Structure 1
Amino acid sequence: MLHLFFAVAFSAVPLTLYVPPIRSLNLFVQTIEDVWRESSVYTHRVYPRIRYAFRRILDCMLCTTTTH
């Protein structure tokens, strides 16, 4: 059982390299929030246009399928 414990423990050590330290997470979260805030201005302008374009494409597809 001790051999299994050490095998699992030593195989999990390289995985800890992928997890950033806690002090780096605050900077990461702050950066993501800044990007989200900056992109939301553009998203609110573009989103109605995308919805309108998608609606027109869908209407065209439905119109062509119902006329045949």
Structure 2
Amino acid sequence: MLQLFFAVAFSAAPLTLYVPPVRSLNLFVEALESFFRQTSDYSARVYPRARIAFSRVIAVFRRILL
């Protein structure tokens, strides 16, 4: 049983290298939040225009095909 415990413990140890430390993770999350905050204004303006442009393109294709 002890051998199984050590086998599992040492096989899981390399997996901890893939998990970043909490302080690095906080900086990453903060950067993502900042990015989304900065792009939300731009996407709020672009999305309605893109939707109108896409519907116009689809309308042109409908007229051509029908």
Equivalent residues in 2 for 1:55-66, closer than 5 Å: 55-65=55-65
Instruction: Give the gaps of 5 or more residues in structure 2.
Output: none
CA 1:46–1:3: 2 relative to 1, 3 Å: same
CA distance in 2 between partners of 1:7 and 1:58 (Å): 60
Identity of aligned residues (%): 59
CA 1:64–1:4: 2 relative to 1, 3 Å: farther
Provide the residue aligned with 2:39 in structure 1.
39
Q: When the two structures are superposed, what TM-score results if normalisation uses the length of structure 1?
A: 0.72
Q: How many residues align?
A: 66
| Post-superposition CA distance 1:30-52 (Å, at most 9, x none) | 11110000011211121111111
Instruction: Give the gaps of 5 or more residues in structure 1.
Output: none
Quick check: 9-18 or 42-51, which moved more?
Answer: 9-18
Q: When the two structures are superposed, what TM-score results if normalisation uses the length of structure 2?
A: 0.74
CA distance in 2 between partners of 1:50 and 1:63 (Å): 20
RMSD: 1.9
Equivalent residues in 2 for 1:1-68, closer than 5 Å: 2-65=2-65, 67=66
CA distance in 2 between partners of 1:12 and 1:37 (Å): 37
